[in-house]
Amino acid sequence: MSPAHSAYLHLCPAAAVPAPALASAPAADGSKLRFVVTERPAPAGCSSLALGDARIEALHAPGPQAHTARAILLHGDEQDGGFAVSEQILVQPDSSAPPAAPGPMPLHRNLLDAMRVTPYGSEERVRARLEDGRLHLRCEAGIRPAGVLLSGPWRLPLLRGALRLRFAGQGRFAWRAADAAQAARETALELGFLDAAGTETSLRLALPSGLDRAGWRHFVLACPDGPATLELRELALAPTPGAADQRPAPRATWIWEARDWRGRGPALLDWAVSEGIRELFVTVPIAGGRVREPAALSAFVRSARARGIAVSAVEGDPHMVLPSERAASAARAWAVARYNREAAPAARLASLQFDIEPYLLGPEVLAPARLERAYLATAAALRNAAGELPLDFVLPFWWAGKRALLDTLARSADSITVMDYRTAPDQIVEFAMPFLDWGAAHGKRVRIALEAGPVAALTERRYHPAEPGSAGDMLLFELGGQTVLALLREPRAIPGARPFRLAATRRIDGSATSFQGNTAALRALLPRLEADFSAWPGFAGIALHGMR
């Protein structure tokens, strides 16, 4: 955005200012407002702020939550002597954030490193301590129940799995698990026994079916009646992969150019087979309420099916969430469903995927408070239009905490694909688990997507609040009922505006997000991820974006 060199910032109805605007924002009644800078006082029907000699480089209407931010991050890039902003993040104080729900218990990691130990028993015959990832337990003789409770900041994921234990000592200890209801009754479910006989022993204990995983509270390690000692050296959650004779979930990828399947279909299928790809999401041209080249699509789907590859159509545009675009979006879903109804079984598409990403719309197009409701309304409309054709929705990993949205989306979605765009293996698993649990809870299929294509580097600027009344590199203020954030070319102070000063700048490359340039590491990692994820009944495979 070009800097402005004028004296007044105005917020006006869109019809009142046909000239180019700095930014737009929705009014309370849904109409559009525009921000403009001029050298004249307020036009009729506008709200205005005197800028003095302050020069605005970029302007945004972030919503009232900006007033509580303890920091503001701007992502973008240096361009033409200025800073082109692509994303803004409000960092809120921890105390103002709602309490976070417990995260999933990590896989393969020694849980003792982060657990708490609480002795119990009226005879006080237990001595226990956690040290360096090991539990040291001594039990004296007694006749009343005694032992320890082991708790941690997690919930148990909804996977097929077992606890892996390594221990040494003397005596027979019972191992149990309790959820919230059982903990309130001071009861627990039996998992098995740890028979310690001097040398180190390894053991797997299957998780009980009657345990409320989300409500897990603690494990119980119960002492025998006689004297006993135990050193628990490892406690880990180990997924149980799918059966060896079970066909593995397919790997998938996206083909965004229709010409790749329309004119180069054999080469595309050869490549897919060589990469172990068994599902393709392809762009299908639509015109006049119908698939534009049904015969070509039918021939390609037949050829793919003959080579063990399923084909699905993919649609996607952030504007699909807008009420004005909903009917047209539903019409496209209906056209694909019509193709499937008219096609022979061997030529039918496996599903229709929607990669909408509504958060890419600016707040001037769709107010953030309306985004989720609009997304769900569009999903419902697409579901109604698609009929029996299975629908898949592409979601970002950071929607994991949107429980109400995800639970409502389950009414429209047959499956979801999660853009888990990270390269650190532990982080990939951590971000995938809430969605795999969602799939298990709702009986839906869940695909995990990884990025292998180019990701542009960007610059992150971090701004902190400055002293009231001082000059700021960025100013926060109210104008015409809108919360406004203005990035300035040079620091300035404006009466009534809250100043923010640039605190740090850093360059972020794509290595944490994409496997581009490191596909060998990706190929080596895939079997491990697929084995772990197959412990969830709804796991539908891994999708690789940007592989071709």
* pLDDT tens for each residue of the chain, 548 residues long: 344 455 799 999 888 776 678 888 878 777 888 898 888 877 788 999 999 889 999 898 888 888 999 999 998 888 777 888 888 888 888 654 455 678 899 999 999 999 999 999 999 999 999 999 999 999 999 999 999 999 999 999 999 999 999 999 999 999 999 999 999 999 999 999 999 999 999 999 999 989 999 999 999 999 999 999 999 999 999 999 886 557 789 999 999 999 999 999 999 999 999 999 999 999 999 999 999 999 999 999 999 999 999 999 999 999 999 999 999 999 999 999 999 999 999 999 999 999 999 988 877 788 777 899 999 999 999 999 999 999 999 999 999 989 999 999 999 999 999 999 999 999 999 999 999 999 999 999 999 999 999 988 889 999 999 999 999 999 999 999 899 999 999 999 999 999 999 999 998 888 889 999 899 999 999 999 999 999 999 999 999 999 98
Tokens of 126: 């237990």
Cα angle vertex 28, ends 75, 368, to 5°? 30
Q: What pLDDT shows up at residue 510? A: 84
DSSP bridge partners of 178: 218
User: Which residue in the block uniquely carries the two structure tokens 């005694």?
Assistant: 146
Residue 308 sits at φ, ψ, to 5 deg, of: 80, 25
Q: What pLDDT shows up at residue 41? A: 77
What is the per-residue burial (b if ≥16 Cβ within 10 Å, else e) of 38-72? Answer: beeebeeebbbbebeebbbbbbbbbbeebeebebb
What is the per-residue burial (b if ≥16 Cβ within 10 Å, else e) of 324-362? Answer: eebeebbebbbbbbbbbeebeeebbbbbbbbbbbbbebe
Q: Which of 203, 143, 208, 215 is nearest to 176 (CA)?
A: 208
Q: Note the pTM of the prediction, 2 decimals.
A: 0.84
Q: What pLDDT shows up at residue 234? A: 98
Report which secondary-structure segment, H or E, holds 387. Answer: none
Distance CA 294, CA 329 (A): 19
Instruction: Please compute, for residue 413, the number of CA atoms within 13 A of its CA located in the half-sphere on the CB side.
Output: 29
| 107 close to 238: Cβ distance less than 8 angstroms | yes
Q: What pLDDT shows up at residue 6? A: 55
**Cβ atoms within 10 Å, residue 386:** 22
The Cα diameter of the chain in Å comes to: 90
Distance CA 2, CA 21 (A): 10
Q: What pLDDT shows up at residue 100? A: 62
Distance CA 429, CA 421 (A): 11
| 304 close to 298: Cβ distance less than 8 angstroms | no
Strands (E), 240-292: 251-255, 277-282, 286-287, 290-291
DSSP bridge partners of 139: 126, 228
Q: What pLDDT shows up at residue 4? A: 46
Please report, for residues 75, 384, 408, 445, the alpha-carbon distance to residue 380 in angstroms, rounded to integers and kept in the order given.
33, 6, 10, 18
Q: For residue 245, is it left (φ>0), alpha (ψ between -120 and 50) or beta?
A: alpha
Report which secondary-structure segment, H or E, holds 432. Answer: helix 425-442
